[in-house]
Amino acid sequence: MGLAQVPCIRPWLLRRLGLNADVHNGHIKRITDIDVQSLVLELLSSNVSTTWITCPSEKKQVLGIKLPFLVMIVKNLKKYFTFEIQVIDDKNVRRRFRASNYQTATRVKPFICTMPLRLDDGWNQVQFNLSDFVRRAYGTNYVETLRITVHANCRLRRIYFADRLYSEEEVPHEFKLYVPVRKPPQEVEHPVMAVPVPAAAPPPVPPAAAPPAQPPPAGAQAEPVREAA
């Protein structure tokens, strides 16, 4: 799998790798985002041009990443936001691509191409085919990425490069848009077996009453009962 992460964009490496950043009228800090339950990097400012982070930190350094697909996992804060990628083509010319959510039209100039960026609410996965952009804008071939700069206002979870676009099932958890959260075990309802209750015995039937004695027919004489001596 061809994946290359921009290391200094990762929040916990912000200071350790000496990331070049600038902050005015805002902040850059790590926070825990409740939607993804993970540490992310938040860039906030009243002016997008005065608060940014860039990689690599030194101006003379370059990333040298040749993978053509850029993937950025970013949260829409419903504020102005822009980022910029600097590449070099097979004519050895450095080109810049700048995407902004406040721009409405694409403009191509000799050394910079600006384009609109549409973000949905919440977290987004922004995918850039740099090879296609270079070819369509300048008619040249993409060679490698030199630098990436992210301005306020946004929250960053991950930025990485790939040789192609991968599905969510193919990438590791740290490269996913949303990390699957383990659900607590649900209670399983066991079926309750009904125990048959024996039916109550029917009440005893009272004995039938003896039929009344029939009177002797007319003209018949009753035989006297003789007592034993």
Alpha-carbon 39 to chain mean position: 14
pLDDT tens digits for 66-76? 999 999 999 99
Query: Residue 54 and residue 66: Cα distance in Å, rounded?
Result: 18
Q: Which of 20-24, 150-154, 195-199 ranks highest by mean pLDDT?
A: 150-154
Neighbouring CB atoms inside 10 A of 57's CB total: 13
Residue with tokens 């910029």: 84
- 227 vs 112: which has the higher pLDDT: 112
Query: Residue 101 and residue 117: Cα distance in Å, rounded?
Result: 5
Reduced to 3 states, what is the DSSP secondary structure of residue 130? helix
User: According to the model, what pLDDT value does residue 195 have?
Assistant: 47
Residue among 89, 166, 93 nearest 130 (CA): 89
Percent of the chain with pLDDT over 70: 69
Percent of the chain with pLDDT over 90: 54
Reduced to 3 states, what is the DSSP secondary structure of residue 6? coil
The neighbouring-strand residues paired with 128 are: 70
pLDDT tens digits for 44-57? 999 999 999 998 88
- In the DSSP assignment, the letter for residue 65 is B
Least confident stretch, 25-39, 46-60, 198-212: 198-212
- 174 vs 130: which has the higher pLDDT: 130
Confidence of residue 189 (pLDDT cuts 50, 70, 90): very low
The answer to whether residue 149 scores a pLDDT higher than 90 is yes
User: According to the model, what pLDDT value does residue 10 have?
Assistant: 47
Residue among 42, 80, 50 nearest 156 (CA): 42
Q: What is the dihedral of CA 27, 31, 35, 36, to 10 degrees?
A: 120
User: According to the model, what pLDDT value does residue 170 have?
Assistant: 87
Query: Residue 158 and residue 11: Cα distance in Å, rounded?
Result: 9
User: According to the model, what pLDDT value does residue 73 have?
Assistant: 94
CB 22 within 8 Å of CB 152:
no
Contacts for 31 with CB less than 8 Å, ≥ 6 apart:
39, 40, 42, 155
Strand boundaries in 90-183, DSSP class E: 94-100, 107-108, 112-116, 122-129, 142-151, 154-162
